[in-house]
Structure 1
C-alpha cells in the first residue's frame, strides 16, 4: 500500500506548527501533525466536505 501524501493545515505556521494534516486518496485521512506515526481518522469525501462547509459558517 502506498503511503498517502500529507498536507499540513495553513494555520499550522501561525499556531506554532502544531495542527492537523490531511491526505486525500479515495477517502480523506486526518491526523495530528505532532504525532505523524499515530493512528489517523478516515472519512468519506462527503463527510469531509460537510465538515469543511460547517467550519466556514462558524
Structure 2
C-alpha cells in the first residue's frame, strides 16, 4: 500500500494491552473504498497495507473472541 494522505487513522482499542501488538486502521477510507488500510501504530513511518472489508471483519471477530 502506498502512503495515503491522512485517511483518518484510528488506533485499535485492542492495542492498549501489554502484548505490544498495536495497529491503526482507517474507517472513513474503508467506508468509502471497501478496503481497510492497516498500519503499525508504533512506527507510522512504515508503509501499511490494505485488506478487504470482509477479511477485516473476520479479523475483528477473531480478535474479540480470542483468549490470547
How many residues in Structure 1 have an aligned counterpart in Structure 2? 57
In structure 2, how many angstroms separate the alpha carbons of the residues matched to 1:31 and 1:53? Answer: 18
Shift of 1:56: 2.1
Moved over 6 A (4+): none
Which shows bigger deviation, 6-15 or 34-43? 6-15
Coordinate RMSD, CA, aligned: 2.2
Give unpaired runs (5+ residues) of structure 2: none
In structure 2, how many angstroms separate the alpha carbons of the residues matched to 1:41 and 1:30? Answer: 5
Task: Name whichever structure is richer in helix by fraction.
Answer: 2
- For CA contacts below 8 A with separation 6 or more, give which structure has more relative contact order: 2
Give unpaired runs (5+ residues) of structure 1: none
Shift of 1:29: 0.9
Specify the SS of the correspondent of 2:50.
Answer: strand
TM-score (norm 1): 0.73
